[in-house]
Structures are given as structure tokens and as C-alpha cells.
Amino acid sequence: MEKLNRSDLYTLERYAEVRPEFRARVMQHKRPRRVALGEHAALYFEDRLTMQYQIQEILRAERIFEAAGIEEELEAYNPLIPDGSNWKATFMIEYADEFERDEALKRLINVEDKVWVRVQGHAKVYAVADEDLERETEEKTSSVHFMRFELAPEMVVAAKSGAALAAGIDYAGFEFVCDPLPEDTARSLAADLA
């Protein structure tokens, strides 16, 4: 999938004009790309459109219009666009109650290494997590992790040919399996692959 560059982005003025329609389109696009992994965790699979939206929103919120600032955001978010042989996702540990979340994050150290996807007929692929920077301490993990699931060529072919997909967590006390993923999710993820 092609990375974003400055010419792909709206100016702040133009984004203000198109934002309602663009946001609605992105929210519709994102819906099947969220995979709940139990009550308190989810994978949000990223792609070029979700990253364009993320960048546009940051530029808008921070009023960034200078080339250097825009390039900085592109450098930060382009790595989350799939490369054709992988899926990239934001993994979120989600608790509404702050105390409950803090306690869970203390319990779930290294959970990010136990998140997986599977293409039917193939082995689980565990996430390569937080390549950008370490997101946990000795006391707790982070509520947000960035993940890459690198697929073997035969997995790519199978996924693009309509093989069922699954995802889950193999972490003691926090296990969850979603098998199979909904068909609209599988179709959306297959489109990320070359």
C-alpha cells in the first residue's frame, strides 16, 4: 500500500470544508476494521485512509501548516500503513473506569506479545509490537500498542482468495478468540494485501 505524502493531504482550509463528509466516509470504512478481543481489548486495523484521517485531524487540532510539521506527522504515521505482506493495527486495552484500567495494565505486562491473527489453514501469526518505541514499564503495560502482523506469501494468497481469518489473545487470564472474523472484516483486511 502506497505511503502518504504532502500532496495527498488537504490544506487546513480545504479540510475544514470537506471534513464532515470525509469523516463520515472514514468512520464507515473503520467499522469492519475494529475487532473486539473480549470486553476490554480491540484491534483497530490501520490502512492508508485511516492514517490520512489521523494525520488530517492532528494537523487540524494543532494548526500545523508548515512543511516541516506536516513531514513530521507523515514520518510518524506512514509506518502504520500496511506494506502488502502484513496487517498493521492499533491494539487498545479499553476500560472506562480509570482505577480498573490501571489495575489491568499492571496485570497485563507483555500482553502485546500474545496477540495473534490466523489465516485459515495456517499457523497463528503473533504481533511484532511497538517497533517505534517501548510502551511498557516493569510496573505496567500501556493501554495502546502498535502492531505488525507479518504474513508468509502463502498466507497472503489464501487471505486474498477468501480464506477465513481469526484473531485472538493467548494471555493467561485474558484469553480470547474471534474465529472467524466477520466476512466484511476479512474482505477489508484482504484488500490491504498485495
**pLDDT confidence band for 158 (50 / 70 / 90):** very high
- In the chain, where does DSSP find H-type helix? 12-30, 48-62, 67-77, 98-107, 153-160, 183-190
Rounded distance between C-alpha atoms, residue 56 and residue 27, angstroms: 14
- pLDDT value for 134: 67
Please state the rounded mean pLDDT for residues 26-43. Answer: 98
Tell me: the pLDDT tens digits for 124-156?
999 999 887 666 678 999 999 999 999 999 999
Rounded distance between C-alpha atoms, residue 169 and residue 157, angstroms: 24
Tell me: the pLDDT tens digits for 41-62?
999 999 999 999 999 999 999 9
Rounded distance between C-alpha atoms, residue 143 and residue 119, angstroms: 26
Q: What are the boundaries of each domain within the chain? A: 6-190
44 φ, ψ (degrees, to nearest 5): -115, 105
